[in-house]
Amino acid sequence: FDPELLTPSRLDYATTLVLQHMKTGEKQEVQLPENSEGIRYIRFNPVKSSFVFASKVKNEARLELYQCQLSGDTNNANIDDESKQIWTMTKIQLQNHKMNFIQGCAYQFSTDGSKLFIKVVPSTTSSTPPKEPVSTGPAIQLVEKGARKAPGRT
């Protein structure tokens, strides 16, 4: 667990992003954000031609959220027009909130694809650990003189 990123401690990142049109085979490389170490947690919209991903900011303990969408995407576009469209990327502003990846991906689309739900840490949560942990050590019991010794658990 990484307490600064709120992610599992060991993450692998994709450092390139190439999208391929399934019908024509044409490929388009999408440039990652310029300050990105790599991307992770790609989630596709179930209805529209779009997806989102988290980008790790270089030399910072921060993940940013981006959305890629097929330009001019409409539900009525025909295949020929769609093959000439390009993918565009925009940053999703989180107003200084931090995404929470502790129990899996921090975002997902609604089933109809109209909304993106994002788990964030409440702004009232402290970013520093408490001065004294809840438990300062193991519970120690007094052993009476002459008591029978029990084997240790392994």
State the average pLDDT over residues 54-61.
89
* pLDDT over 80 at 43, yes or no: yes
Contact 121, 63 (CB under 8 A): no
pLDDT band at 76 (very low <50, low <70, confident <90, very high): very low
N residues, the chain: 154
- Mean pLDDT check: name the lowest of 22-36, 75-89, 115-129: 75-89
Q: In sequence order, what E strands does 1-154 have?
A: 18-20, 27-29, 36-44, 50-57, 63-70, 87-92, 107-109, 116-118
The residues near 28 (Cβ < 8 Å, ≥ 6 apart) are 18, 19, 20, 21, 86, 87
At 99-149, the pLDDT tens digits run 888 888 889 999 999 999 999 888 777 767 667 767 767 777 677 787 777
Q: What does the pLDDT read at residue 116?
A: 93
Q: Output the average pLDDT for the chain.
A: 82
Q: What does the pLDDT read at residue 91?
A: 93
* pLDDT over 50 at 93, yes or no: yes
Q: Which residue has the higher pLDDT, 138 or 59?
A: 59
> From CA 2, how far away is CA 6, in angstroms rounded?
5
pLDDT band at 26 (very low <50, low <70, confident <90, very high): confident
Nearest C-alpha neighbor of 41 from the set 52, 49, 33, 30? 52
Q: What does the pLDDT read at residue 7?
A: 81
- Torsion, Cα 112 13 35 16, to 10 degrees, reads -80
Q: What does the pLDDT read at residue 80?
A: 52
Q: What does the pLDDT read at residue 83?
A: 56
Contacts of residues 59-63 at CB distance under 8 Å and 24 or more positions apart, as own/partner, are 61/2, 61/4, 61/5, 62/5, 62/98, 63/5, 63/7, 63/99, 63/101
